[in-house]
Structure 1
Amino acid sequence: MNMQLLSARDPGWTEWADVIVVGSGIAGLTAALRLKDQVERVAVVTKDVLQAGSTQWAQGGIAAALGEGDTPDQHEVDTLVAGAGACDLEAVRVLVGEGAEAVRELIAWGAEFDKDPAGNLSLTREGGHRRDRIAHADGDATGAEIQRALMEAVRRAPEIMVFEHAMVVDLLTAADGGVAGLTIHVMGEGDADGVGIVRTRAVVLASGGLGQVFSQTTNPAVATADGMAIALRAGATLRDLEFVQFHPTVMYLGEDSRGQQPLISEAVRGEGAFLVDWDGNRLMEGVHELGDLAPRDIVSKAIMKRMLDTGRTNMWLDARHLGGAQETSAAFWERRFPNILASLRSHGVEPSVDLIPVAPACHYASGGVRTDLWGRSDVPGLYATGEVACSGVHGANRLASNSLLEGLVFSRRIAEVLPGELRQLEDPAPGAATGRALVPGSALKTLQETMTTKVGVLRNATGLAEAVETLEQLGRTPATEIDPAAWEATNLLTVSLALAKSALLREETRGSHWREDFAERDDAGFAGHFDVRLRDGETVATFTPGAATDPSQTPIQNPTTLAGA
């Protein structure tokens, strides 16, 4: 099978590595650190600088059964309930079973989490969790602390080569369809400037998500679905793309605001904040047993329903009372959420006095490159971990703070098997650009507006069909320049089409996929996954049946796991 390659200039340089890790967040750097002593040469490729990915923006924390009385079984149940019947049970058991050990290794690498006066980890609660199991750092800067610790560990490891300001254009495959190398564009950095080829024996994709598909997102500008797109073009399968999680409490900056928006962590609600409408009515009362800490899809839908019913563009988060009798609200905010506080103040909001304007925005892709329990894709030598991957742990809706844990746990597992599966260095097979012509960077605005209005929180058949038609029309507008903007727009278009087609075919409401024309969950017809592949340059989605896994819908083997909830 020929590769489907983007147009690019002829390579001007070559390098090699035993393993190339694409991405520099928790998933990528964990993989690199775990692999550096097992292979001769590891390279990390990152699109910006090492700290520019999504990990540093994680506020709430990392979930694991670390607290007294908590167990992996309880974490499993909460994860399955949030996933709305679309989780892979074995993958969830791997996540929760290996989670605590993985977090302890992270601490050994230098990550410093907040502790209580007795010196134990200070654990909090977020939406969908029935236990306090969220470890956090610097109050609301968990991702930044994890990123700091991992970057320092990488910089102490001379065995790891780092390519910064480097965009992966395509994955190159050998005659047998397995990994042979990557085409990389390094932007203005020394001898490796411009397009080159890094030959390799294995690639670990840890490149993050697809947030820039939508006009408003909590994701950084680098989240342009590159890893998913290059994997698809190389012959990999994408799974569950229709399950895009919209975070319910993103600060509303106005209808014209675009790009990365300020996130108000779920941990704020974990500390007692609650949602209200414009008349001061509590939004989540009577909606779910966990109230304001219900799973994110349920909270986002409640906000959207009230917005649609009232014609309002946002709802409100009331956090004016936090602190209680122990300290003033202002002091509490300074201590517990200093970074969120600074962000709010930069937009003129004082949360100890003012209501916070919020609306749902794109936050996390539960789907991605389909992998097995060891991070393997269906392309030999290609592994995936973190948000770019679909390991099966998130199902239709990610449980809060499971994302950092997933990247940590499955990167460790990849490092267990990859050294024994290294391929020989192979020459890339001849490529073909059939159906993969570039679209101009100027197409991005139309693409994002189409995805936001037609494929956003609330979906229906008419809007989804119109989105597919518009996206296909964009694909027929060729770029006149070969540059990173065109590569990014093309990657976003590739993944947007896959997402929209999957969403159109899933005629039910499940988790973060909300169809107003099919309002109920349908396990008889849609317990399973939509898998996307390229066939003759066309994006094709097919259904793979699977058993529903949701303890809220069916009896569980050990009901006592919910004790103490």
Structure 2
Amino acid sequence: MLRLQTDILILGSGGAGLFAALHAHQAAPELSITVAVKGLLGKCGCTRMVQGGYNVALAADDSVERHFMDTIQGGAWLPDQDLAWTLVSSAVERVRELENELGCLFDRNADGTIHQKAFAGQTFDRTVHKGDLTGIEIINRLAEQVWARNIARLEDHRAIALIKTPGGDALAGVLHIDMRTGEFVFVQARAVLLATGGGPTMYKYHTPSGDKSCDGLAMALRAGLTLRDIEMVQFHPTGLLAGQDTRMTGTVLEEGLRGAGGYLLNGARERFMHLHDARAERATRDIVSRAIFAEMRAANTTPNGGVYLQMSHLGAAQVRAAFKGMVERCADCGFDLAAGMVEVVPTAHYMMGGVLFNGDCSTSLPGLFAAGEDTGGVHGANRLGGNGVANSTVFGGIAGDAMAAWVRRSDLYPSPDESAITQAIVEAERPFHCSPGDIEEVREALLECMWEDVGIVRD
């Protein structure tokens, strides 16, 4: 087993992880910082896949108070209000940082101000974006800045266990598997950030790639941390329905399509959202997903069992200009988003619950911090589209500052419980000693069970 040391270890290279790395480096450039990621830094994770944008109150006739109330109401009054206020109030500073310091360039109005588009569930058009490829713009720029600062990285390393000290009163480091060699790697650290993202890939229809599997939540639970609201899973209403033979099924057709005026039609090609909410297609994701699911249960569906998304009434040229990336992706699957109709289905999108954490991103385990989708409480029962990237960058920055301050308090590395490392390795190797079986059969049964019984509507 390889052993490494670093002052600050960051698990995950999405918006939260990279922002934390940059803030920690800025606050304490003398510290060693390492980013560990399952894939390649800048090329994997959920933030890169964000199409929609970043919610922030910038316009003179908008306000952080208005953004706050939209967030609280959209979350069914269940968000932690202190965390929600931090989100909306800090987003203004963070989006300026993204442009002025880190090199992002968002779409502009004719007068040079940042363009903000309409997203469902909001009382003001406040979603900053780069076309419909906002996540790529943000992650590309953050990754460039991480590389420029020579921050260390462990790529293709999967974190599998949080290792405490022998007394169990603090975190000592994290055990990984080098996925290229199969070697176990223990990284001893004075502060660790859990920023692996969520990943509700246990559902039949899901938006994240298969490598997203709630690793951070699982490690936190095994380490004895409290999780909150873990029963709450957000379903995005419009996942592409392209058949069971392609992984494109379940991938998101973003919120901005409905925000721009797109229609949802049932199998009879009739609009139905006005029967469920006065905002019709611009209602929040939870309401729209339940409405679509009701049409599915009533067999008012398309040939593949979903509903239609129609944009053609807005003008094909306008749709192609505003949503270039999605038009091309739909065309790859044989659909004409701009001039025709596309079949969609609600798709598991975001883990609303997560690790119970404090406003400075610290947790109940000394030395462990958490940010992004690994945490619970910011959004309540339902997240507004555009608040996810804001969440990861806002709290990622806070975590980076807090970890730098934490590490500066002591020069000592906490010693790991060696028996815990041994036990974690035994658990990781246990599947190789089991009787052979059909794992795909088990997986398919799980996907179907979760969709039918633990999905959008539950008994």
- Same fold (TM > 0.5): yes
Counterparts in 2 of 1:25 and 1:176: CA distance versus 1, 3 Å: same
Aligned length: 441
- 1:454 aligns with 449
> Is 1:133–2:126 an aligned residue pair?
yes
Conserved 8 A contact 2:204-2:447: yes
- 2:369 aligns with 383
CA drift at 1:310: 1.9
Equivalent of 1:217 in 195, 201, 206:
206
- 1:467 aligns with none
CA drift at 1:260: 6.4
**Which stretch of structure 1 is more off in the superposition, 250-259 or 103-112?**
250-259
- 1:554 aligns with none
**Which stretch of structure 1 is more off in the superposition, 209-218 or 46-55?**
209-218
Alpha-carbon distance between aligned partners in 2 of 1:448 and 1:361, rounded to the nearest angstrom: 17
CA drift at 1:151: 0.6
- 1:52 aligns with 44
Alpha-carbon distance between aligned partners in 1 of 2:81 and 2:108, rounded to the nearest angstrom: 32
Alpha-carbon distance between aligned partners in 1 of 2:70 and 2:395, rounded to the nearest angstrom: 19
- 1:281 aligns with 270
CA drift at 1:433: 3.9
> Is 1:238–2:223 an aligned residue pair?
no
Alpha-carbon distance between aligned partners in 2 of 1:16 and 1:446, rounded to the nearest angstrom: 41
Q: TM-score, normalised by structure 2?
A: 0.91
- 1:413 aligns with 398
- Residues 45-74 of structure 1 show CA distances to partners (whole Å, capped at 9, x for unaligned) of 010011211111100101011123111111
CA drift at 1:229: 1.1
CA drift at 1:439: 4.5
CA drift at 1:384: 0.9
- 1:351 aligns with 337
> Is 1:293–2:282 an aligned residue pair?
yes
- 1:308 aligns with 297
Unmatched 5+ residue regions in structure 1?
1-10, 324-328, 465-511, 518-565
> Is 1:154–2:111 an aligned residue pair?
no
- Secondary structure in structure 2 of the residue aligned to 1:282: coil
> Is 1:85–2:83 an aligned residue pair?
no
- Residues 154-188 of structure 1 show CA distances to partners (whole Å, capped at 9, x for unaligned) of 11002x10111111121111024211111122233
Counterparts in 2 of 1:210 and 1:448: CA distance versus 1, 3 Å: farther
- Residues 172-228 of structure 1 show CA distances to partners (whole Å, capped at 9, x for unaligned) of 110242111111222337xxx722211110110111112222232110222011111
CA drift at 1:448: 4.4
- 1:427 aligns with 415
- Secondary structure in structure 2 of the residue aligned to 1:211: coil
- Residues 316-369 of structure 1 show CA distances to partners (whole Å, capped at 9, x for unaligned) of 01101224xxxxx1x223321111011100011112322110001111111112
CA drift at 1:513: 6.1
Alpha-carbon distance between aligned partners in 2 of 1:260 and 1:385, rounded to the nearest angstrom: 29
Conserved 8 A contact 1:262-1:343: no
**Which stretch of structure 1 is more off in the superposition, 258-267 or 209-218?**
258-267
> Is 1:514–2:424 an aligned residue pair?
no
- 1:252 aligns with 241
Matched letter for residue 155 of structure 2: E
Q: TM-score, normalised by structure 1?
A: 0.74
Conserved 8 A contact 1:221-1:259: no
- 1:102 aligns with 94
- 2:156 aligns with 165
Conserved 8 A contact 1:110-1:149: yes
Q: Which runs of 4+ in 1 moved over 3 A?
A: 255-261, 432-456
Counterparts in 2 of 1:204 and 1:130: CA distance versus 1, 3 Å: same
- Secondary structure in structure 2 of the residue aligned to 1:406: helix
Q: CA RMSD in A?
A: 2.2
Alpha-carbon distance between aligned partners in 1 of 2:63 and 2:439, rounded to the nearest angstrom: 45
Conserved 8 A contact 2:293-2:456: no
- Secondary structure in structure 1 of the residue aligned to 2:348: strand
- 1:395 aligns with 380
Alpha-carbon distance between aligned partners in 2 of 1:442 and 1:222, rounded to the nearest angstrom: 22
Counterparts in 2 of 1:442 and 1:228: CA distance versus 1, 3 Å: farther
Matched letter for residue 318 of structure 2: F
- 1:548 aligns with none
Identity percentage of aligned residues = 32
Conserved 8 A contact 1:123-1:135: yes
Alpha-carbon distance between aligned partners in 1 of 2:382 and 2:440, rounded to the nearest angstrom: 27
CA drift at 1:445: 3.7
Alpha-carbon distance between aligned partners in 1 of 2:59 and 2:166, rounded to the nearest angstrom: 51
- Secondary structure in structure 2 of the residue aligned to 1:396: coil
Conserved 8 A contact 1:243-1:513: no
Counterparts in 2 of 1:205 and 1:70: CA distance versus 1, 3 Å: same
- Residues 276-329 of structure 1 show CA distances to partners (whole Å, capped at 9, x for unaligned) of 112121121132122101010100000010111126311001101224xxxxx1
Matched letter for residue 357 of structure 1: E
Alpha-carbon distance between aligned partners in 2 of 1:258 and 1:439, rounded to the nearest angstrom: 26
CA drift at 1:257: 5.0
CA drift at 1:153: 0.6
- 2:326 aligns with 340
